[in-house]
Amino acid sequence: MRTFPLQLPDQLVTSRLRLRPYRLDEASALLSMLSALTGQTRRDLPTQLAALKTGKCAEAYLRHCLLQWFTRQRYTLAITQRNDAELLGHLELTALDSTAAYEIGYLIGNSRQGQGFAKEALQAVVGFARKDLHAEVLLIRCCPDNIASIRVARACGFQPLPPTEPQLSATGINEGDGFLHFMHRLPPST
């Protein structure tokens, strides 16, 4: 069974980024970022993000995300510049059952891709998961043709899993789901 500290950090700060829970007034910024996505990034969106078509839907989604933060089921983070509130991307860290395993999903808006923001955000979340959540295993699913995301996962210490093994994910066990799966085993936090 997971045990958690009473207080979690309200934000993660890196040299260029600030990762923090969304504010409800950011529904339109989230919707704008998602609407601007094109090509592979748009195609690879999780269903719940792809379904956001209106400001009311985006606000309801953010309310749900805040509830999940407090119940510790999912940590949904806005990725912003460190020194301003410009929304650069989106990251989710989802608890898997009652284990010390989490699945991570992330995206960077089209205009900010290729600048190392995904790697920087993922490194910060790996540290948060290890230190604050006492995670033992982190998982990432990538579409096989999403070369940038595969490179980010590998650069952050994630190792590919064999495609024949059943994969544990936020939605249960997936066999042959069409994704590449990456795992990062974390050393115990000290």
Distances from the Cα of 17 to the Cα of 23, 26, 77, 124, 151, angstroms: 16, 17, 12, 9, 20
Q: Give phi and psi for 161, each to the nearest 5.
A: -95, 150
How much is the average pLDDT of 62-85?
Answer: 89
Domains of the chain (ranges, CATH numbers): 13-185 (3.40.630.30)
Phi, psi of 92 (to 5 degrees): -130, 135
Q: What is the pLDDT of residue 173?
A: 60
**Could you report how far apart the first and last alpha carbons of the chain are, in Å?**
19
- Reported as a pLDDT band with limits 50, 70 and 90, residue 1 is very low
Give the per-residue pLDDT at 71. 81
Strand partners, 136: none
Answer whether residue 17 shows pLDDT above 70: yes
Q: Which band of pLDDT confidence, cut at 50, 70 and 90, is reported for residue 98?
A: low
Q: Do 98 and 136 meet the contact criterion of CB atoms below 8 Å apart?
A: no
Mean pLDDT for 182-188 is 91
- The pLDDT score that the predictor gives to residue 172 is 63
Tens of pLDDT, residues 21-49: 999 999 999 999 988 887 777 777 777 77
Which residue type does 44 have? Answer: D
116 torsion bin: left (phi>0), alpha (psi -120 to 50), beta (else): left
Mean pLDDT of 57-67: 90
Token code pair at residue 71: 């119940």
pLDDT band at 128 (very low <50, low <70, confident <90, very high): very high
What pLDDT score does 178 carry? 78
Residue with tokens 């990762």, as numbered in its chain: 19
Task: Render the burial of 135-167: b for 16+ CB within 10 Å, e for the rest.
Answer: bbbbbbbbeeebeebbebbeebebeebeeeeeb
14, amino acid identity: T
Model confidence at 6, pLDDT cuts 50, 70, 90, reads very low
When mean pLDDT is compared across 95-104, 125-134, 170-179, the lowest value belongs to 170-179
Q: What is the pLDDT of residue 137?
A: 95
What integer best gives the mean pLDDT of the chain?
86
Residue 190, pLDDT > 70, answer: no
Q: Which residue has the higher pLDDT, 164 or 107?
A: 107
pLDDT at 49: 76
What integer pLDDT is reported at residue 175 of this predicted model? 58
